[in-house]
Structure 1
Amino acid sequence: MSVRAAGPEDAGAIAEIWNPYIRETSVTFTTDEKTVAGLTVDIAARPGAFFVAEDDGAVLGFATAFPFRGGPGYRHTMEHTVQLAPDAAGRGLGRALMTRLEAALREGGAHVLVAGVSGENTVGIAFHHAIGFETVGRMPEVGRKFGRWMDLVLMQKIL
Protein backbone atom coordinates (compact mmCIF):
# COMPACT_ATOMS: atom_id res chain seq x y z
CA MET A 1 0.00 0.00 0.00
CA SER A 2 1.22 3.50 -0.80
CA VAL A 3 -0.09 7.04 -0.57
CA ARG A 4 0.82 9.46 -3.34
CA ALA A 5 -0.30 12.71 -4.88
CA ALA A 6 -3.38 12.31 -7.06
CA GLY A 7 -3.05 12.95 -10.76
CA PRO A 8 -5.58 13.44 -13.56
CA GLU A 9 -5.32 9.71 -14.35
CA ASP A 10 -6.92 9.00 -10.93
CA ALA A 11 -10.12 10.95 -11.57
CA GLY A 12 -12.08 7.92 -12.84
CA ALA A 13 -11.14 5.73 -9.88
CA ILE A 14 -11.95 8.53 -7.43
CA ALA A 15 -15.37 8.99 -9.05
CA GLU A 16 -16.00 5.23 -8.75
CA ILE A 17 -15.28 5.40 -5.02
CA TRP A 18 -17.14 8.65 -4.32
CA ASN A 19 -20.32 8.30 -6.39
CA PRO A 20 -21.82 5.29 -4.57
CA TYR A 21 -21.53 7.27 -1.32
CA ILE A 22 -23.34 10.16 -3.00
CA ARG A 23 -26.07 7.93 -4.48
CA GLU A 24 -26.64 5.48 -1.66
CA THR A 25 -25.60 6.95 1.71
CA SER A 26 -26.02 9.86 4.05
CA VAL A 27 -22.24 10.15 4.46
CA THR A 28 -22.45 13.22 2.21
CA PHE A 29 -25.42 15.51 1.82
CA THR A 30 -24.74 16.20 -1.85
CA THR A 31 -26.76 14.49 -4.54
CA ASP A 32 -24.60 15.71 -7.43
CA GLU A 33 -22.35 12.90 -8.61
CA LYS A 34 -18.70 13.59 -9.36
CA THR A 35 -17.53 13.55 -12.97
CA VAL A 36 -14.12 12.68 -14.32
CA ALA A 37 -13.87 16.14 -15.87
CA GLY A 38 -14.80 17.88 -12.62
CA LEU A 39 -12.41 15.78 -10.55
CA THR A 40 -9.60 16.40 -13.03
CA VAL A 41 -10.11 20.14 -12.49
CA ASP A 42 -10.22 19.68 -8.69
CA ILE A 43 -7.01 17.63 -8.67
CA ALA A 44 -5.21 20.26 -10.75
CA ALA A 45 -6.53 23.07 -8.53
CA ARG A 46 -5.33 21.41 -5.30
CA PRO A 47 -1.63 20.64 -5.73
CA GLY A 48 -0.30 19.20 -2.49
CA ALA A 49 -3.82 18.72 -1.16
CA PHE A 50 -5.21 15.73 -3.08
CA PHE A 51 -3.87 12.23 -2.37
CA VAL A 52 -4.78 8.66 -3.23
CA ALA A 53 -4.02 5.37 -1.50
CA GLU A 54 -3.30 2.49 -3.82
CA ASP A 55 -2.42 -1.16 -3.56
CA ASP A 56 -1.08 -3.14 -6.51
CA GLY A 57 -1.92 -0.21 -8.78
CA ALA A 58 -5.58 0.02 -7.70
CA VAL A 59 -6.81 3.25 -6.12
CA LEU A 60 -8.57 2.29 -2.88
CA GLY A 61 -9.22 5.70 -1.35
CA PHE A 62 -8.51 9.40 -1.46
CA ALA A 63 -8.22 12.47 0.76
CA THR A 64 -8.39 16.09 -0.30
CA ALA A 65 -8.57 19.49 1.34
CA PHE A 66 -9.96 22.82 0.29
CA PRO A 67 -10.46 26.26 1.90
CA PHE A 68 -12.90 26.19 4.80
CA ARG A 69 -14.35 29.60 3.99
CA GLY A 70 -13.49 32.53 1.76
CA GLY A 71 -11.62 35.59 2.91
CA PRO A 72 -8.07 36.16 4.09
CA GLY A 73 -8.87 35.63 7.75
CA TYR A 74 -9.58 31.95 7.07
CA ARG A 75 -6.51 31.27 4.88
CA HIS A 76 -4.97 28.97 7.50
CA THR A 77 -8.11 26.84 7.94
CA MET A 78 -8.91 23.98 5.60
CA GLU A 79 -11.74 21.46 5.33
CA HIS A 80 -11.29 17.94 4.02
CA THR A 81 -12.92 14.88 2.53
CA VAL A 82 -11.63 11.34 2.94
CA GLN A 83 -13.27 8.27 1.38
CA LEU A 84 -12.31 4.64 0.96
CA ALA A 85 -13.59 1.92 -1.30
CA PRO A 86 -15.89 -0.27 0.83
CA ASP A 87 -13.57 -3.28 0.70
CA ALA A 88 -10.59 -1.14 1.80
CA ALA A 89 -11.89 -0.27 5.28
CA GLY A 90 -10.00 -1.47 8.32
CA ARG A 91 -6.58 -1.63 6.64
CA GLY A 92 -5.17 1.68 7.88
CA LEU A 93 -5.64 3.45 4.55
CA GLY A 94 -7.79 6.25 5.96
CA ARG A 95 -5.24 6.97 8.66
CA ALA A 96 -2.38 6.87 6.13
CA LEU A 97 -4.21 9.26 3.80
CA MET A 98 -4.97 11.67 6.62
CA THR A 99 -1.40 11.56 7.93
CA ARG A 100 -0.08 12.49 4.49
CA LEU A 101 -2.74 15.17 3.94
CA GLU A 102 -2.17 16.76 7.36
CA ALA A 103 1.61 16.86 6.83
CA ALA A 104 1.20 18.54 3.44
CA LEU A 105 -1.27 21.06 4.81
CA ARG A 106 0.95 21.85 7.79
CA GLU A 107 3.89 22.38 5.43
CA GLY A 108 1.69 24.69 3.34
CA GLY A 109 0.82 26.87 6.33
CA ALA A 110 -2.51 25.44 7.44
CA HIS A 111 -3.22 25.67 11.16
CA VAL A 112 -6.66 24.04 11.51
CA LEU A 113 -8.28 21.16 9.64
CA VAL A 114 -12.08 20.91 9.76
CA ALA A 115 -14.28 17.86 9.23
CA GLY A 116 -17.98 18.30 8.51
CA VAL A 117 -19.41 14.84 9.22
CA SER A 118 -23.01 13.71 8.78
CA GLY A 119 -24.57 13.06 12.18
CA GLU A 120 -25.67 9.69 10.80
CA ASN A 121 -22.08 8.73 9.96
CA THR A 122 -21.07 7.25 13.31
CA VAL A 123 -18.12 5.43 11.71
CA GLY A 124 -16.78 8.71 10.30
CA ILE A 125 -17.18 10.47 13.65
CA ALA A 126 -15.36 7.65 15.47
CA PHE A 127 -12.58 7.65 12.85
CA HIS A 128 -11.99 11.37 13.23
CA HIS A 129 -11.91 11.09 17.02
CA ALA A 130 -9.38 8.26 16.72
CA ILE A 131 -7.03 10.45 14.67
CA GLY A 132 -7.19 13.42 17.01
CA PHE A 133 -10.17 15.49 15.89
CA GLU A 134 -12.45 17.01 18.51
CA THR A 135 -16.17 17.61 18.12
CA VAL A 136 -16.70 21.37 18.31
CA GLY A 137 -20.36 21.61 17.34
CA ARG A 138 -23.48 20.03 15.98
CA MET A 139 -25.76 21.82 13.56
CA PRO A 140 -29.21 20.23 13.72
CA GLU A 141 -31.13 19.63 10.50
CA VAL A 142 -28.88 21.61 8.14
CA GLY A 143 -28.68 18.83 5.53
CA ARG A 144 -31.49 17.22 3.61
CA LYS A 145 -31.29 13.98 1.68
CA PHE A 146 -33.50 10.95 1.18
CA GLY A 147 -36.52 13.00 2.30
CA ARG A 148 -35.23 13.70 5.80
CA TRP A 149 -33.32 16.37 7.68
CA MET A 150 -29.85 15.50 8.93
CA ASP A 151 -27.43 16.99 11.44
CA LEU A 152 -23.89 18.08 10.62
CA VAL A 153 -21.20 17.37 13.22
CA LEU A 154 -18.32 19.83 13.06
CA MET A 155 -14.95 18.49 14.13
CA GLN A 156 -11.52 20.06 14.05
CA LYS A 157 -7.88 19.35 14.59
CA ILE A 158 -5.19 21.90 15.32
CA LEU A 159 -2.31 20.99 13.05
Structure 2
Amino acid sequence: MDKQVTLRVARLSDASRLLDIYTPYIKDTVITFECSVPSVEEFQQRMVNIQKKYPYIVAERSQQIVGYAYLSSFVGRDAYDWAAETSIYVDPADRHGGIGGRLYQAIEDISRVMGILNLNACIGYPKSPDDPHLNTNSADFHHHLGYRLVGKFHDCGYKFGHWYDMIWMEKMLGDHPANPAPVKSFNDVRSVIAVKYNIK
Protein backbone atom coordinates (compact mmCIF):
# COMPACT_ATOMS: atom_id res chain seq x y z
CA MET A 1 0.00 0.00 0.00
CA ASP A 2 1.32 3.44 -0.94
CA LYS A 3 2.19 5.14 2.36
CA GLN A 4 1.53 8.52 0.74
CA VAL A 5 -2.19 7.73 0.61
CA THR A 6 -4.17 9.38 3.40
CA LEU A 7 -7.81 9.09 4.43
CA ARG A 8 -10.26 11.83 5.28
CA VAL A 9 -13.98 12.49 5.46
CA ALA A 10 -15.56 13.40 2.12
CA ARG A 11 -16.69 16.97 1.48
CA LEU A 12 -19.47 18.10 -0.84
CA SER A 13 -16.82 19.90 -2.87
CA ASP A 14 -15.37 16.43 -3.67
CA ALA A 15 -18.51 15.41 -5.56
CA SER A 16 -17.21 16.17 -9.05
CA ARG A 17 -14.05 14.11 -8.54
CA LEU A 18 -15.97 11.26 -6.91
CA LEU A 19 -18.36 11.24 -9.84
CA ASP A 20 -15.39 11.08 -12.22
CA ILE A 21 -14.28 7.91 -10.44
CA TYR A 22 -17.79 6.45 -10.39
CA THR A 23 -18.72 7.21 -14.02
CA PRO A 24 -16.62 4.45 -15.70
CA TYR A 25 -18.26 1.91 -13.39
CA ILE A 26 -21.65 3.03 -14.70
CA LYS A 27 -20.72 3.30 -18.37
CA ASP A 28 -18.43 0.30 -18.75
CA THR A 29 -19.25 -2.25 -16.04
CA VAL A 30 -22.00 -3.97 -14.10
CA ILE A 31 -20.18 -3.40 -10.81
CA THR A 32 -22.99 -0.91 -10.28
CA PHE A 33 -26.49 -1.62 -11.56
CA GLU A 34 -26.97 2.11 -12.11
CA CYS A 35 -27.28 2.82 -15.84
CA SER A 36 -27.31 6.63 -16.11
CA VAL A 37 -24.65 9.00 -14.80
CA PRO A 38 -26.17 11.30 -12.16
CA SER A 39 -25.56 15.03 -12.16
CA VAL A 40 -23.06 16.51 -9.72
CA GLU A 41 -25.99 18.07 -7.86
CA GLU A 42 -27.75 14.71 -7.49
CA PHE A 43 -24.51 13.09 -6.38
CA GLN A 44 -24.03 15.80 -3.76
CA GLN A 45 -27.54 15.20 -2.43
CA ARG A 46 -26.77 11.51 -2.10
CA MET A 47 -23.70 12.44 -0.07
CA VAL A 48 -25.75 14.71 2.16
CA ASN A 49 -28.29 11.95 2.81
CA ILE A 50 -25.60 9.38 3.61
CA GLN A 51 -23.62 11.69 5.88
CA LYS A 52 -26.62 12.38 8.10
CA LYS A 53 -25.71 9.12 9.83
CA TYR A 54 -22.97 7.18 8.08
CA PRO A 55 -19.28 7.62 7.20
CA TYR A 56 -18.18 8.69 3.73
CA ILE A 57 -14.40 8.38 3.41
CA VAL A 58 -12.01 9.30 0.60
CA ALA A 59 -8.44 8.16 -0.05
CA GLU A 60 -6.03 10.81 -1.34
CA ARG A 61 -2.58 10.78 -2.85
CA SER A 62 -0.83 14.11 -3.46
CA GLN A 63 -4.16 15.86 -2.76
CA GLN A 64 -5.87 13.86 -5.53
CA ILE A 65 -8.75 11.55 -4.57
CA VAL A 66 -8.05 8.01 -5.76
CA GLY A 67 -10.95 6.16 -4.16
CA TYR A 68 -13.84 6.36 -1.75
CA ALA A 69 -16.07 4.20 0.41
CA TYR A 70 -19.18 4.72 2.47
CA LEU A 71 -21.90 3.01 4.45
CA SER A 72 -25.61 3.34 3.87
CA SER A 73 -28.80 2.07 5.39
CA PHE A 74 -29.52 -1.64 5.02
CA VAL A 75 -33.23 -1.89 4.10
CA GLY A 76 -34.11 1.13 6.24
CA ARG A 77 -36.29 -0.38 8.97
CA ASP A 78 -35.44 0.28 12.61
CA ALA A 79 -34.73 -3.35 13.45
CA TYR A 80 -31.95 -3.36 10.84
CA ASP A 81 -30.14 -0.49 12.57
CA TRP A 82 -27.15 -2.67 13.56
CA ALA A 83 -26.51 -3.59 9.92
CA ALA A 84 -25.21 -1.36 7.13
CA GLU A 85 -24.50 -1.72 3.42
CA THR A 86 -21.00 -1.07 2.13
CA SER A 87 -19.97 0.64 -1.12
CA ILE A 88 -16.50 1.25 -2.52
CA TYR A 89 -15.07 2.67 -5.74
CA VAL A 90 -11.40 3.08 -6.61
CA ASP A 91 -10.05 4.99 -9.60
CA PRO A 92 -9.46 2.32 -12.28
CA ALA A 93 -5.88 3.56 -12.65
CA ASP A 94 -5.24 2.86 -8.96
CA ARG A 95 -6.92 -0.51 -8.51
CA HIS A 96 -5.01 -3.49 -7.04
CA GLY A 97 -2.74 -1.19 -5.05
CA GLY A 98 -4.22 -1.77 -1.62
CA ILE A 99 -6.42 1.34 -1.58
CA GLY A 100 -9.64 -0.67 -1.44
CA GLY A 101 -8.44 -2.73 1.49
CA ARG A 102 -7.37 0.36 3.40
CA LEU A 103 -10.70 2.09 2.80
CA TYR A 104 -12.62 -0.98 3.91
CA GLN A 105 -10.49 -1.33 7.04
CA ALA A 106 -11.40 2.26 7.89
CA ILE A 107 -15.08 1.55 7.30
CA GLU A 108 -14.89 -1.50 9.57
CA ASP A 109 -13.10 0.44 12.32
CA ILE A 110 -15.68 3.23 12.16
CA SER A 111 -18.53 0.72 12.17
CA ARG A 112 -17.28 -0.86 15.37
CA VAL A 113 -17.08 2.51 17.10
CA MET A 114 -20.60 3.32 15.92
CA GLY A 115 -21.90 -0.01 17.23
CA ILE A 116 -22.71 -1.55 13.84
CA LEU A 117 -22.45 -5.35 13.98
CA ASN A 118 -23.14 -6.51 10.40
CA LEU A 119 -21.66 -5.22 7.15
CA ASN A 120 -23.50 -6.27 4.00
CA ALA A 121 -22.27 -6.00 0.42
CA CYS A 122 -24.54 -6.16 -2.63
CA ILE A 123 -22.46 -7.39 -5.58
CA GLY A 124 -23.24 -7.94 -9.24
CA TYR A 125 -22.23 -11.42 -10.34
CA PRO A 126 -21.49 -12.61 -13.89
CA LYS A 127 -23.34 -15.51 -15.49
CA SER A 128 -20.34 -16.49 -17.62
CA PRO A 129 -16.57 -16.27 -17.02
CA ASP A 130 -15.96 -14.33 -20.25
CA ASP A 131 -18.46 -11.52 -19.62
CA PRO A 132 -16.89 -8.27 -20.97
CA HIS A 133 -18.58 -6.06 -18.36
CA LEU A 134 -18.30 -8.02 -15.12
CA ASN A 135 -16.01 -10.51 -13.42
CA THR A 136 -15.78 -12.00 -9.94
CA ASN A 137 -13.13 -9.56 -8.67
CA SER A 138 -15.51 -7.77 -6.33
CA ALA A 139 -16.76 -11.01 -4.79
CA ASP A 140 -13.18 -12.26 -4.51
CA PHE A 141 -12.09 -8.99 -2.86
CA HIS A 142 -14.83 -9.23 -0.25
CA HIS A 143 -14.09 -12.92 0.39
CA HIS A 144 -10.45 -12.03 0.98
CA LEU A 145 -11.55 -9.48 3.59
CA GLY A 146 -13.61 -12.03 5.47
CA TYR A 147 -17.05 -11.62 3.93
CA ARG A 148 -19.07 -14.74 3.22
CA LEU A 149 -21.74 -15.45 0.65
CA VAL A 150 -25.24 -15.49 2.15
CA GLY A 151 -27.57 -15.22 -0.84
CA LYS A 152 -27.91 -15.04 -4.61
CA PHE A 153 -30.65 -13.46 -6.72
CA HIS A 154 -30.92 -14.72 -10.28
CA ASP A 155 -31.48 -12.58 -13.38
CA CYS A 156 -32.41 -9.57 -11.27
CA GLY A 157 -30.43 -6.90 -13.15
CA TYR A 158 -30.53 -6.01 -16.85
CA LYS A 159 -27.71 -3.95 -18.33
CA PHE A 160 -25.82 -3.87 -21.64
CA GLY A 161 -28.45 -6.17 -23.14
CA HIS A 162 -27.84 -8.99 -20.67
CA TRP A 163 -29.35 -10.32 -17.44
CA TYR A 164 -27.14 -10.43 -14.38
CA ASP A 165 -27.27 -12.13 -11.01
CA MET A 166 -26.65 -10.36 -7.71
CA ILE A 167 -25.15 -11.77 -4.55
CA TRP A 168 -25.17 -10.63 -0.94
CA MET A 169 -22.08 -11.09 1.19
CA GLU A 170 -21.82 -10.27 4.89
CA LYS A 171 -19.20 -9.80 7.57
CA MET A 172 -19.96 -9.94 11.28
CA LEU A 173 -17.99 -7.40 13.31
CA GLY A 174 -18.89 -8.63 16.77
CA ASP A 175 -21.18 -10.59 19.03
CA HIS A 176 -24.90 -9.92 19.00
CA PRO A 177 -25.96 -9.23 22.62
CA ALA A 178 -29.48 -9.68 23.90
CA ASN A 179 -29.78 -5.92 24.48
CA PRO A 180 -27.51 -4.07 22.04
CA ALA A 181 -26.64 -0.44 22.65
CA PRO A 182 -28.15 2.02 20.15
CA VAL A 183 -26.05 2.66 17.06
CA LYS A 184 -24.33 6.05 17.12
CA SER A 185 -24.16 8.33 14.11
CA PHE A 186 -20.80 8.94 12.48
CA ASN A 187 -20.90 12.59 13.52
CA ASP A 188 -21.23 11.51 17.16
CA VAL A 189 -18.00 9.50 17.00
CA ARG A 190 -16.07 11.56 14.46
CA SER A 191 -13.66 13.03 17.02
CA VAL A 192 -12.87 9.53 18.33
CA ILE A 193 -12.29 8.29 14.79
CA ALA A 194 -9.96 11.18 14.00
CA VAL A 195 -7.73 10.43 16.99
CA LYS A 196 -7.90 6.64 17.02
CA TYR A 197 -7.67 5.93 13.30
CA ASN A 198 -6.12 9.10 11.90
CA ILE A 199 -9.03 9.84 9.58
CA LYS A 200 -9.30 13.60 9.30
Gaps of 5+ in 1: none
Q: Secondary structure at the match of 1:4?
A: strand
The structure whose residues are more often strand, as a share, is 1
The unaligned stretches of length 5 or more in structure 2 are: 127-134, 174-200
Distance 1:151 1:43 in 2: 27
Partner of residue 108 from structure 1, selected from 114, 118, 131: 114
Aligned to 1:38: 42
- Which residue does 1:2 correspond to in 2? 6
**TM-align CA RMSD:** 1.2
Letter in 1 for 2:7: V
Residue in 2 that maps onto 1:79: 85
Q: After the TM superposition, which segments of 4 or more aligned residues of structure 1 sit over 3 Å from their partners? A: none
Q: Aligned pair 1:20/2:24, yes or no?
A: yes
In the superposition, the TM-score normalised over structure 2's length comes to 0.76
State the identity %. 30
How far the C-alpha of 1:42 sits from its partner, in A, is: 2.5
Tell me the SS of whatever aligns to 1:90: coil
Q: 1:143 aligns with which of 157, 168, 180?
A: 157
TM-score by length of 1: 0.94
Q: Measure the CA separation in 1 of the matches of 2:115 and 2:98.
A: 26
Q: How many residue pairs end up in the alignment?
A: 159
Give the partner amino acid of 1:128.
Answer: H
Residues 72-122 of structure 1 show CA distances to partners (whole Å, capped at 9, x for unaligned) of 111111111101111111211000111111111221121111111111231
Deviation at 1:46, TM superposition (A): 2.8
Give deviations 1:120-145, integer Å, cap 9, x for gaps. Answer: 23110110011111111111111111
- Give CA deviations for 1:4-48 in whole Å, capped at 9, x if unaligned: 111111101110000111111111111131322122223233335
Q: Distance in 2 between matches of 1:128 and 1:19?
A: 22
Q: Work out whether 1:157 is the aligned partner of 2:161.
A: no
Structure 1 or 2, whichever has the larger Rg, is: 2
